[in-house]
Amino acid sequence: MDQREKIISVKNLVKKFGDFEANKNLSFDVFKGEIFGFLGANGAGKTTAIKILCGLSSPTSGEISVAGFDAYHETEKIKKNIGYMSQKFSLYSDLTVKENIRFYGGIYGLSRDTIKRKTKDLLEKLNFSEHAGSLISSIPLGWKQKLAFSIAVFHEPKIVFLDEPTGGVDPITRRQFWDLIYETAHTGITVFVTTHYMDEAEYCNRVCIMVDGRIDALDTPENLKKQFGADNMDEVFVRLARAEKK
């Protein structure tokens, strides 16, 4: 038995939309401080599962707990204990950097003093202090992504969901972003991340690959490569997703 603390526990998750079964009996656990990669082709059912884990959609059946709360009845508590960021989810572009931080801090119920103190730390850490008063619309995309991530973990959630966080950013910023992910995981926050960059799958502690509503593989990148006799995660992914199409 794995003794680590479970942050997400999913048993026999099924989600149906009418006759269509988007999630077919998913079972997996995610542990404290783990970087958990969630991969799959478009339409494999990733978004459906993430919405349930974030408390935005109700499962059809199964036992699901996130950050210790039940995904049927305690969705508000789930929302308070998670962070979320996606490529499409942007900060408010007509607010400044500092205003965005204050806004999200307030939404998550942090006190004024805490927000003030943490804002200063955050801006220093990101080297953004000079730009605290800049409008979001005026800063480069790479900065925005780093800031959006930092704001998603500003209230120190137990888990942060990152939905294609690095889409479209330049290769150097993409790597700096992963440095932030590693740092965050080391502080004990669980990172649940989706990506279409297969090199990024290698950076995860464990990777789960969804195919057609099912989980077809779940293990460390090392073990998956061994299991499929592949040189890299790209090959693993292509083999699983292609097999489905045939």
Partner 1 sequence: MVVASHISISYKKVNALKDISFSVNEGELFGFIGPDGAGKTSLLRILTTLILADSGSASVFGLDVVKDYKNIRKITGYMPGRFSLYQDLSVEENLSFFAAVFGTTLKENYDLIKDIYIQIEPFKDRPAGKLSGGMKQKLALSCALIHKPKILVLDEPTTGVDAVSRKEFWQMLKKLKNDGITILVSTPYMDEAELCDRVALIQKGEILDIDTPMGIISKYKNVLFEISSDNMYKLKGDIGKFNDTLSVFLFGQFLHFSPKSGRKDTDVLKKYLEEKGHKNIIIRECKPNIEDCFMDLMQSENG
Which residues contact partner 1 (rule: CB under 8 A)? Answer: 40-44, 87, 140-142, 164, 167-173, 175, 178-179, 182, 186, 196-199, 202-203, 221, 232-234, 237-238, 241-242, 245
Q: Which is nearer to partner 1, 5 or 183 (CB)?
A: 183
How far apart CA 136 and CA 56 sit, in angstroms, is 27
| Residues whose CB is less than 8 angstroms from the CB of residue 50 and which lie 6 or more positions away in sequence, other chains included | 38, 161, 163, 192, 194
CB atoms within 10 A of CB 13: 23
Minimum distance of partner 1 from residue 181's CB (angstroms): 10
Q: Which is nearer to partner 1, 43 or 188 (CB)?
A: 43
Q: Would you say 39 and 209 are in contact if contact means Cβ atoms under 8 Å apart?
A: yes
Q: Which is nearer to partner 1, 60 or 232 (CB)?
A: 232
How far apart CA 183 and CA 84 sit, in angstroms, is 17
Minimum distance of partner 1 from residue 143's CB (angstroms): 11
Q: Would you say 41 and 19 are in contact if contact means Cβ atoms under 8 Å apart?
A: no
Minimum distance of partner 1 from residue 185's CB (angstroms): 9
Minimum distance of partner 1 from residue 202's CB (angstroms): 4
